[in-house]
Structure 1
Amino acid sequence: MADIFDVIADGTRRDILQLLRERLGGGERGTSVSQIVQELGVSQPTVSKHLKVLREAQLVSVREEGQHRFYSIATGPLEEVDDWLVPFLLDESDAAAVAAAVTATLPEPAVRAAEGIGRAAASAKHAVTGALRKLGS
């Protein structure tokens, strides 16, 4: 399998993932190749090539209905990216608090929950900080 960072390095694949994420938020159960082609304005062979790479990296799942295929985002592999990126978004006191929570003697489900909450908090802090910077500009 390709390195997750190599897979998401391509702009078209990131656009596809973004589109699938947005459609997931709308309650849809999948997006067809033709819908992706129409939304992104990219050729069908190009979309199919990128979807194959995303499938092999397990970033998308496919549901077949007759001759149609419907794609949905699968965010699990992105946790590796999140784990790598979050330390860059935390200041030293945040990092120490996260490390203490993760290394404390907790049951495994609690550790996973704490890590998820920590990632969500770091992402929210980053988004708010970025938004405030834009407003100040």
Structure 2
Amino acid sequence: MADIFDVIADRTRRDILQLLLDRSLAGSDGTSVSQIVQSLGISQPTVSKHLKVLRDAELVSVREDGQHRYYSLLAAPLDEVDDWLVPFFTLEDAASPALPETAVHAAEAVGRAAASAKHVVTSALRKFPGR
């Protein structure tokens, strides 16, 4: 499996994950490639290439219905990112004089955003089991 950090480092893949999350929260049971192409305004081959990377990293699942494929978000691999970020939540407590205050606040903001995103994704997946 690819390194999760390499996978989410790409802005297009993050945009696809965000779209899948948004659609899942809206009650969608999957998003087609054509819906992703239309929503993000990128080519079908580009979307397919990125979806393959996301599938290989087990960040998305695919459901086939005839010739159509519907993609859904899988949040479990993001736990590794969350585990890596958690130590940064306590940066302010360490109050290292070598670390500028703006860096501490930035790390806290990233940590809170990651924790919030994980909570939203986990809640959505619990709300819609089997998707």
The answer to whether structure 1 residue 66 and structure 2 residue 66 are counterparts is yes
The answer to whether structure 1 residue 50 and structure 2 residue 13 are counterparts is no
Instruction: Give the aligned partner of residue 19 of structure 1.
Output: 19
The answer to whether structure 1 residue 39 and structure 2 residue 39 are counterparts is yes
Structure richer in helix, relative to its length: 1
Instruction: Give the aligned partner of residue 112 of structure 2.
Output: 123
RMSD: 1.8
- Structure 1, unmatched stretches of 5+, are 94-121, 128-137
**Could you give the per-residue CA deviations for residues 7-34 of structure 1, whole angstroms, max 9, x where no partner exists?**
0000000000000000010011000000
Task: Give the superposition deviation at 1:5.
Answer: 0.3
SS in 2 for 1:75: coil
Indicate the structure (1 or 2) with the bigger Cα radius of gyration.
1
Name the % identity: 71
Task: Give the superposition deviation at 1:4.
Answer: 0.4
- Equivalents in 1 of 2:80, 2:56: separation in Å? 16
- Equivalents in 2 of 1:55, 1:89: separation in Å? 30
Runs of 4+ in 1 over 6 A off after TM superposition: none
- Equivalents in 2 of 1:28, 1:15: separation in Å? 17
Task: Give the superposition deviation at 1:92.
Answer: 3.1
Residue 34 of structure 1 aligns to which amino acid in structure 2? S
Residue 8 of structure 2 aligns to which amino acid in structure 1? I
SS in 1 for 2:76: coil
**Could you give the per-residue CA deviations for residues 46-72 of structure 1, whole angstroms, max 9, x where no partner exists?**
000000000000000000000000000
- Equivalents in 1 of 2:55, 2:43: separation in Å? 18
SS in 1 for 2:50: helix
SS in 2 for 1:47: helix
- Equivalents in 2 of 1:13, 1:54: separation in Å? 7
- Equivalents in 2 of 1:23, 1:86: separation in Å? 27
- Equivalents in 2 of 1:89, 1:24: separation in Å? 28
Residue 27 of structure 1 aligns to which amino acid in structure 2? G
